[in-house]
Structures are given as structure tokens and as C-alpha cells.
Structure 1
Amino acid sequence: MSNAVTRARPGTGGRTSAVTMLIAAVGVVVTVALFAAGQRAWEYRSPASHLVLETVDACVAVLVSYLVYGRFRRSGSRQDLLLLQGFASLGLANACLALTLAQTEWVALLGLWLPPPLRVLGALLIAAAALLPRRSARSAWRRWLFAPLLGVVLVIVLVVLFQRENLPGSEQVAGGFRPPISSHGHPALLITQVVSLLAFAAAAVAFMVEARKRDDVLMRWLGPACALGALARANYLIFPASGPDWVYSGDVLRTGCYFLLLVGAGREISRYWGAQAEAAVAEDRRRVAREMHDGVLQELGYIRSELAAFASVDEERVGRIVASSDRALDEARQMLVALGRAGDEPLADALERAVEQIAERYGVALALELDASITADTEQRHALVRVAREAVLNAVRHGQAERIRVRLAQEGKSRLLEVTDDGTGFDPARRTSGRQGFGLTSMRERAEALPGVFRLESTPGDGTTVQVRW
């Protein structure tokens, strides 16, 4: 992802705000209900379930960290750097649960006291990524990405080891059921929960605002995820966990936060590979266009110029060949233009460009009535442009038209493309063979494949009307 700010697509920022506020409202209602019912209304003793939740959270945090690492390698932005370090801190904190299963006392103590400061650090880094201006990070950070995190971990380990005699163990930190917000064991745990709550809440609001400004898939999911993260910390404050054997509402809400992060990561990966595929297709289209310009077009132009030398031998036959060469050149040029255009070009713009080229080449008056609000997918747009071009070319070459009107409109539940000319017209029942007959058949087949309905009206001496309704 580049450093440039990309505008959010219409509606995406509003949907993100709605989802974030909905999640926050539901979480608040659930928390109030649990508070009113008491802690024992929702608690479940299962060491295995607690271990599964922590493992899932750690795996998701590592996955998101790896994803953000790729973003940082491409963008070099400070925001992605802070997100990377924040998610890495959260993943490391969740992974530390395995240390509490160790038989060695000081290792188990590390498993108890390492996660809280790491979670606070992760929450603060994510909040910083949301609140600080988006700027480029120094190039040196590409080499020393995790140096600050490793330094903090080392400091925490040293403090815990030197102060292990003064730090309570798991049985002292939370010794069973307590009334809400009455006692929380060690005050350091209360401080970490409060700081994490404030950091996640600030990040949720900031990411919600950021989603309105930029079309960034991951940012749109960070807001709701941080809202759940803040609610999880609020639940931990009201219902402090009694240890790794119990599962509480805070654990479930925290896992919900990581689930939203997983969804955001999946959407980000999907968009990235979609963009890669589109870039590969665009590059291939440009390559084909270059080859066609330097090969086929040059040869057709040479054939067209050399035919003039044979005009005195058989002028009528040479004229037909010259006309065929002109048509081939026109088709080749149209293919070049189509190859060089973006795949999401609006239908009205594509029709205007296609028919104006023909009108300018043959010097006919052109009236356009194109409704820009009408959309069509790539295949439909291609078919409609080909029908419009064929109708205009037939009007010019076979009908000697001087004025052509092209209309694109919405009529009820259907859409209409109409090409009308003031040419000589013809009798459709006695359709001529050759190029014109094949052209009419091709237009009909393209219209029916939309799926749509093809209609042709023509009277000798009174012009022709071609309609496609889909």
C-alpha cells in the first residue's frame, strides 16, 4: 500500500461507524446485564477452554502482525510500524500463558506477570497508530523493527526476576470470587486494565474517523475490534479473572476482538491479491497493445498505402479492398483503445468515446443523450459498445447518414440503448448478405447475451433505428 491517502468509497465510512457503535452498544448492554446478575451468572471453569481461547488469540495476533509487516514493507508508514509492534506485543502476551503451566516457580511467575504490561504496551501502540498523524517512518526501522519490543520484554523479565519475592503468585493475585470492583488483588493489575481500556476506546474512535477518510479495508475493521477490546477490559475490571482455570465474559469479548481482526486480515489479503491480479492483467493488456501497435497496425497501414498503386488495374476491386482495409484498421484501433482503458470505465463514457471516434472520422453530426447513472458490468459494457459502434458504422457506410442520435436511458425497470440515423434505410425482410448481414446478426446475438432484447426498425428512404433493451 502506498503512502498516499486514498479516499474512502461512498458509504464505507458510515458503515464502519454504524458497526462500531452497534458493537459498543451491544457490549455495554451485555456488561450491564452481567453486572446486575452478578459474576456467577456467567463463569465457566475449564482450563482447556481458557487455553484454547488464549491460543486462538495468540495465533490471530501473529497473523495480523505478519500482515501489517507486509503493509509496512510496502508503505514504510509510521502508522503501520506502530500497529505491527502493537499486535506483536498482544500476540506475545497471549503466548505467555504457556509459561504458567511450567513447574518451575519463577517461570510460572513470568507467565503471570509478563502478559499485563505487554497488553498495556500493545494497546498503547495501537492507540498511538490511530491518533498520530500518518507519516513515513525512518528507514532504519526496517532493520530494527522489534528492537524496542524486545528491550521492553527484557526489562520486564529482569524486574520480575529481581522482585519475585515481593510479587504475589496466582493464588494471591486473584483468590476466587470477589464482589465487582471491590478488590482486585494487586493494584498493578487494576492499573493495566484501566490504561488498556482507555487506549482501546481512544483507538476505536480514531479508527472510526480514519475509516471515513481512507479506503483501507483493515482500518475499517480495527474500529469495531478495538471497541470490543475496550469492552473486554471493562469486563475484566468488573469481573476480574480468578486465574487460568476460569473463562469469563472478558475472555469471550477479547476473543471476539481478535475474531474481527481475523476478518479484517482476510479482507485485506483478499483485496491485496485482487489488486495484484488486476495489475498483472493490466500489464498484459499493455503488452498486447504494444505488440498490436507495432505489428498488426503497421502492416495494415502498409497494405492500405500500397493498394493505391493498383487502382488503374481494377479500380472497383481495389476500392473494395481499400474499404476492407479501412475497416480492419478501425477495428484494430478500437481494440488498442479498449486494451488501454481501465476495466471500470463508466458505460456512458465508453459509449461516447466509441461513437465519437467514428463520427469524427466520417464527418457526421452526432447527438448524444447518455444517462451517466446507468451501470453495466464489464461483459455487458463491451457488448453494448460493440452494438453501438456497429450501428453507427452501418449508418455511415451503408445508409449514408448525415446525422446520428445515440441515446442511453432508463425506462421503467429496463435500460435502453438506441441508435437512430437519417440515412437511406433498407428493408429488414430483404437483408443484404455479406458484411451488413453479419453485422446485424452479431448485434442481435450480443444483445440477447446480455440478456436483452434486440429490435431493428428501418424503412427505405426513412432511416434506421437500432434498440437494445436489457
Structure 2
Amino acid sequence: MLKRLNTIRYTYIRSHLYGLFLNTVTLLAILLSVYVVFEPVWLSAISIFVFVISYVLIGFIFSFYVGFKSSGDMKDRMDYLSVLITQLSRGNYSSRVYFNEDDEIARIGNELNELGEKLKSQVKSLQRMADEKSEYAKSAHKAAAIEERQRLARDLHDAISQQLFALTMMTQATLRILEKDPVLAKSQLEDISSTALKAQTEMRALLLHLRPVDLSGEPLISGIHKLVEELKQKCPIEFHLQLEEIDGISQSTEEHLFRIVQESLSNTLRHANASEVSIEITRSKKELFVHVGDNGQGFDLETDERKKTSYGLKTMKERCEELGGTFAIRTNKGEGTHIDIRIPL
């Protein structure tokens, strides 16, 4: 309620009521002065009281009506500006607003139109640079492959190797106490099973990175379908796909989006412990919308610094920004993780 009282419409009404108050005080002061000084017969205390009350009641009604009507045009124009800013923030840089008036609000609208035009030009430049970068990336494919192999080797050493070493130690310890303490041995076997499952999941995520970086000339939707079918055979995860064929996007854009989806699924396999994953690719007016979500354990984006600075999340965001798009992640502990990407077309 208090928030509504701070809107433009109620600001206009308050200004009219303030003017009514000042006029009433001034008029009352004049009438009382005339009554005290001249004491005319036609002017009495009762008539002053009746006149002032009538003036206040009628003025109150007119203040509300005039304030409400006069603020309508201003409110509509401010709403237009708000909608334009929202559209620009969502990547719809073709939105425009036009006013017939020649005042400050019209000037702000023209400046926002110019901002949208500049952003649109910058997005085109970014996408052109992304195409050029894709060509350079192909020529540097060998160096990138070597770097990727080194990173995978580090991951294998840091994760899989340590887990396999732990499995070996735990297995040897279980064998020694199997006959002496079967209950403790059973508990350790459960830990071994859990560690083995974790190592298996980690290995699947690493193997996912060994897939080709590009789509090898096939469409984006086809590449994602093949990727999901491959994962279905290896992982107990249910996939929900809503993939719309998008025409008119460049090959480099498709490769960037495929790599983002691939990185998202890799993060889900390694960290989410999810049973369901949804992938959505649709076109809305002049933008491409990509959503990848899961029902996993999620994490606290505000407090988990390790996740905020994650190599995978950082890479996905950089790829999205190279296309002039917006990258947003929604997650919380126990509520899964959802990644939303919008790319202007």
C-alpha cells in the first residue's frame, strides 16, 4: 500500500491536496481578519465555518479527480520508458519508443532509442567478431587440443586417481577385517560402493569433454539430440527436451551454444546428483532462448565462492557474452540449478 502511494499518480494527487490546504488556510485567514476587523453583518462565525467546510469537501473531490486525470498521460509515458528499458535489458535492442511532445521525457526517450541502436550495432560487431574468432579457433585447434588434454590429465589426477587410490586402500582394509568384524566390513563396503559410483560419475563427465568441440557441420539441434542419446545409455537421468529448429544463425553461434549445453551437462553429471534434466531451445520474437535445468542438489550462489568462480560457469558466461547475449543462473541448495541464456538474432 505504501509503495502505491509513492507512484506518479498519487504524487500528483498529493500536490493538488497540498495546494488545497494552502488555499484553505489563506482563505480562512482572510475571512477571520475581515470578521474581526470590520465585523460585517453578512459574515458570521457559522457562515465562515460552513463555507470553509464546503470549500474543503468540494476541493478535496476536485483535487482527487484533477490529480488522477492530469497524471494519466505522465504515467503512460513513464510506463513506455520502463517497458523500453526492460526490453533493452533482455537483449531486444530493436525496441523503440516515440513521443509527440517536446519535453524532458521525450528527450530521455530519444536518448534510450539511441542507446538501443548503439547496443544493436555492438551486438552485430560482437557476433561478427565471434565468427572471426571461430575461424582463428579452427586454425589453432591443435594447440587447444593439447591444452584440453593437459587439463583432463590434471582432472584425472586430482579426482579419479585419488578416488581409485582410496578404493584400493579401503578394499584392502575391508579384506583384513571381513572375518573379524562383518558389521564394520559391511559399512566399509557401502563406502566403497559410494566412492566407486562417484568416480564413475566423474569419469563420465570427463569423457563428455572428450567429444568434439564443434558440431562437425551438423545442425545444433541434431548435435544436442545425439549428445543426449549418448548420455541416456550411460547415466540414469531422465531428459526432457523442447528443441525448436532455429534458422538464420551462424555456424559459430551454433558451436558456442552446443559447447555451452555440453558444459552445463558436464557440471550436472559432476556436481548436481540430479535425476531429471530439461533442455529448451526456442525462438521468441528477435531472440534465441536457451534453458538448461536440473532437479539436483543445487548450491548457494552467494556464499559458495568455489562455484561462483567455477571454470565451467565462467567459460559458459564468456561464450554467451561473445555472442552479445545475457547469461543468468538460478540455483539454491536443494532446489536444483537452472541456466537461462538469451541471444539476440
Fold equivalence (TM over 0.5): no
The TM-score with structure 2 as length reference comes to: 0.41
